[in-house]
Structure formats: structure tokens, C-alpha cells
Structure 1
Amino acid sequence: MRLTGGCLCGAVTYASEGPWRPVIACHCSQCRKASGHYVSATSVPREGLEITGEVRWFQSSEEARRGFCPNCGSQLFWDGAGANTSIMAGTLEGPTGLATKGHIFCADKGDYYEIPEGSRQVEGNDPALTTRVD
């Protein structure tokens, strides 16, 4: 399934055939600080991600970097170890057919919101969620 997306100003766009991982919400303090809330992201194989425009990368930890538009500041990508690059779900052009399958780093969750009851919630990382592709 080919999906496309991009930043707020349109200077950076992307496309991929996938396969697309279900959306996972990350509540870690880095994601919350980078986005202003928690992050919901899908992912695709890095080699199948086509990016047009200049992406600025910020090395947010020893393990990962975050990609954003240098013009409008839209956070677009999270790139760490493994074969996939995460894509912020809110930057996709819809409809996507994707669904949120779980929440990670719930131990770091902000106190001003609740995670929906019945959602899969993990205190830290969960490779079964983050590396999964349906």
C-alpha cells in the first residue's frame, strides 16, 4: 500500500510502499518534549522510504535521531537501530487504513492525559509492538 505525507509547509514530502507497521504511541519524555505531547508513529523499511526535500536531523540520544523540516519545524521521522524508520502518523495523507495497536513507555506518561482503557500498555519499550508489521 503506497502512502504519502509531508510537513506543514510542504517543503519535505515522503512516500513508501511499506510494509507499514501499525501505529504505536510513545509516551517517553523525549517524544513528549520533541512533539509537545506523546508521539504516534508507524514505520517502514528504511530502504523503501522516498524523501524529497531537505530534512534536518537532530541526534536526540546515542540510539536515535529525529528528522524534521528546517522550514516549518514539523517533526517527521525517528530513526534508530534496526531496518525501519518511524514516521509520525499525523504527517501522513489520509485515509491510511492504519490503527493504533499499543502504547510504549507508559511509565513516563504525562499526568495531564489518560491512555484509553483496553489499550495495550507497556511500561518501557516492547519490540513485539515496535518491530511488528501486519
Structure 2
Amino acid sequence: MHTGSCLCGAITFTVSAPLKRPDACHCGQCRKQSGHYWASTDVKRSALAITGAGHIRWYQSSPKVRRGFCDTCGSFLFWDPPQRDSLAVAMGAFDAPTDTHLHVHIFTADKGDYYAIADGLPQE
């Protein structure tokens, strides 16, 4: 069981399954929305319980994906492709410990020029 929340606590969530190894997305959309790269883990919808869902605002960032954030504090929490049975949940929103470690960096061709990826993990 893993718990988490947005910065202000208006949205809380519980994941009732082990967390998958997260990835770090360096695409332009994730960088602009999060302020850096975005680390997340895929969670099956059936394993995710959200309290305060009325505070989630959805931004349709592409035809197939929407991004969920708190309408009070602005925390970017979810990356949701509605056609899939899972969605991505922000690693930074989880209460510690998560018992996970990054396993890959994605969209690295779009990464910012102000940092290096030097942790030895695969880069896609």
C-alpha cells in the first residue's frame, strides 16, 4: 500500500499494488509542466483510489493524453491516456518510502541543455 498527495493535500491517493519501476520523461511537455524532467510510475486504474478528485483539473495535452493537476496548489499528479487500463502517477507525490528506483530515461533527445544524465541508466 502506497499513499501520496498534492502539495496542499486537497488530493490524496492510495495505490493498493506494488509500484512499478519509474521512468524519467525528458519530453518538452513534461519539462514545461513540471519545471524539469518528470518521474512517474504506471498504476493500474483498479489499484488507484483518489480522494478529492473534484480538485483535479485535466489538461488535454495531446489528442490521446490528458494531464491532471490540483486546482488549488497546481501539483502535476497524473498523466492519463484514457484508452489504457493504467495511468502514470508522479513519483514526487508519493509519501516515502516507495521502494523503487528509476529504470530508464525517456525522450532524452528533448532534454534540457542545462543538465546531464549521468546515472548510467538506459536512455531512450
**Aligning the two structures, in what range does the TM-score lie when normalised by the shorter sequence?**
over 0.9
Q: What's 2:103 paired with?
A: 101
Contact 2:57 2:68 survives alignment (8 Å): yes
Aligned sequence identity (%): 50
- CA-CA distance at 1:20 after TM superposition: 1.9
Q: Distance in 2 between matches of 1:114 and 1:43?
A: 25
Provide structure 1 residue ranges, at least 5 long, that are not aligned to the other structure. 123-134
Q: What's 2:13 paired with?
A: 14
Q: What's 1:32 paired with?
A: 31
Query: How do residues 1-134 of structure 1 correspond to structure 2 at under 5 angstroms?
Result: 2-53=1-52, 54-80=55-81, 81-122=83-124
Q: Secondary structure at the match of 1:100?
A: coil
Q: Distance in 2 between matches of 1:115 and 1:83?
A: 31
Q: What's 1:126 paired with?
A: none
Q: Distance in 2 between matches of 1:45 and 1:117?
A: 28
Aligned residues: 121
Provide structure 2 residue ranges, at least 5 long, that are not aligned to the other structure. none
Contact 1:25 1:40 survives alignment (8 Å): yes
Contact 2:19 2:98 survives alignment (8 Å): no
Segments of 4+ moved more than 6 angstroms: none
Q: Distance in 1 between matches of 2:113 and 2:121?
A: 17
Structure (1 or 2) with the greater strand fraction: 2
